């Protein structure tokens, strides 16, 4: 069975994201969470099923200054990576 290169690359990307040691979250431009990887679950304590659908505000730790969150939010709203 021949697999398309894009399909293989996507499988590798999914595996990498799932196994990454850093917490990763995917949101829409409104800040609603659509995906969290296992590392983010371990860091925050939010199981994936609970985090998906919530606003990213639930993930703020208070450890960073307000300017950090403002910059992060501006990036999310702009659609930049």
**20-55 confidence digits (pLDDT tens):** 888 888 888 888 999 999 998 888 888 899 999 999
Task: Quickly state the pLDDT bin for 2 (edges 50, 70, 90).
Answer: low
- The pLDDT of residue 80 is 62
- What is the CATH number that goes with domain 5-78? 3.30.450.20
* Residue 36 host element (H or E): strand 33-36
- The beta-carbon contacts of 55-63 under 8 Å, at least 24 apart in sequence, are 55/30, 55/31, 56/25, 56/27, 56/31, 56/32, 57/31, 59/25, 59/33
Supply the pTM of this predicted model: 0.67
Higher-pLDDT residue of 63 and 16 is 16
Question: Domain extents for the chain?
Answer: 5-78
């Amino acid at each position: 069975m021949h697999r398309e290169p894009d399909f293989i690359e996507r499988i590798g990307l999914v595996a990498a994201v799932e196994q990454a040691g850093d917490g990763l979250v995917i949101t829409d431009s409104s800040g609603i969470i659509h995906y969290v990887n296992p590392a983010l679950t371990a860091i925050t304590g939010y199981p994936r099923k609970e985090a998906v659908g919530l606003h990213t505000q639930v993930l703020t730790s208070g450890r960073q200054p307000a300017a950090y969150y403002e910059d992060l939010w501006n990036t999310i709203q702009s659609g930049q990576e």
